[in-house]
């Protein structure tokens, strides 16, 4: 990465939260694919990994097709590095100050570190999100998921938490 490829500037222009930088190097019969996730705003390196694979010139696209989904799953799925980072940044904010999108992100973080105090904060955020965006499917899906987790762990003192999750 150099001046010709400023991922931070590109990410900012696109409104992205993070940028994945990568390289592919070949040495004899081996290829090494390196990837790293960088926070666009702070420039902080959030994650990095490398993948060593056999190299065959005729199968370079197969090689990339093998590694790319692994990178995406590690970085961007519900339990990935990016989701964890974004939900951590929301933990200190007042639940009713979160947008519906932020409430869903916050709830994803709760699912990774389930505890009673976190449940109460996320429950408040999701209730507020439902009032703000009553037709948002992601909000309702997360309300349901949070209610089911609360029931499973015995956090919700109300006896109808599973029914509320099913309704959502």
Asked whether the predicted pLDDT for residue 34 surpasses 80, the reply is: yes
Helix, strand, or coil here: 11?
helix
Please say whether the beta carbons of 7 and 19 come within 8 A.
Answer: yes
Lookup: tokens for 168: 């959502």
pLDDT confidence of residue 54: 92
Edge-to-edge strands, sheet with 45-54: 18-27, 30-39, 45-54
The confidence band for 30, taking pLDDT boundaries of 50, 70 and 90, is: very high
Instruction: List 34's β-bridge partners, or say none.
Output: 23, 50
What does pLDDT average to over the chain?
84
Calpha distance 45→27 (Å, rounded): 26
Q: What is the pLDDT of residues 36-81, one digit of tens each?
A: 988 888 888 888 999 999 998 888 889 889 998 988 888 877 777 7
Residue ranges of E strands in 15-168:
18-27, 30-39, 45-54
Instruction: List 35's β-bridge partners, or say none.
Output: 22, 49
Calpha distance 140→120 (Å, rounded): 17
Least confident stretch, 102-106, 108-112, 140-144: 108-112
Higher-confidence residue of 128 and 1: namely 128
- ∠ Cα 60 63 66 (to 5°): 155
pLDDT confidence of residue 159: 65
Average pLDDT over residues 129-148: 92
pLDDT confidence of residue 163: 77
The confidence band for 129, taking pLDDT boundaries of 50, 70 and 90, is: very high
Higher-confidence residue of 34 and 117: namely 34
Find where tokens 């509320």 sit: 164
Share of the chain above pLDDT 90, in %: 29
The confidence band for 1, taking pLDDT boundaries of 50, 70 and 90, is: very low
Calpha distance 59→132 (Å, rounded): 50
């Amino acid at each position: 990465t150099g001046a010709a490829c400023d991922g931070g500037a590109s990410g900012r222009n696109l409104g992205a939260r993070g940028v994945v930088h990568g390289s592919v190097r070949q040495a004899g019969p081996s290829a090494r694919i390196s990837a790293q996730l960088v926070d666009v705003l702070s420039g902080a390196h959030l994650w990095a990994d490398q993948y060593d694979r056999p190299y065959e010139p005729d199968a370079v696209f197969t090689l990339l097709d093998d590694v790319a989904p692994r990178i995406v799953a590690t970085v961007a799925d519900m339990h990935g590095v990016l989701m964890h980072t974004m939900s951590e940044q929301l933990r200190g904010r007042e639940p009713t100050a979160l947008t519906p999108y932020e409430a869903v992100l916050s709830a994803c973080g709760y699912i990774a570190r389930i505890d009673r105090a976190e449940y109460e904060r996320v429950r408040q955020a999701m209730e507020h999100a439902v009032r703000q965006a009553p037709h948002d499917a992601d909000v309702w899906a997360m309300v349901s998921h949070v209610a089911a987790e609360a029931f499973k762990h015995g956090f919700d003192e109300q006896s109808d938490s599973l029914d509320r999750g099913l309704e959502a």
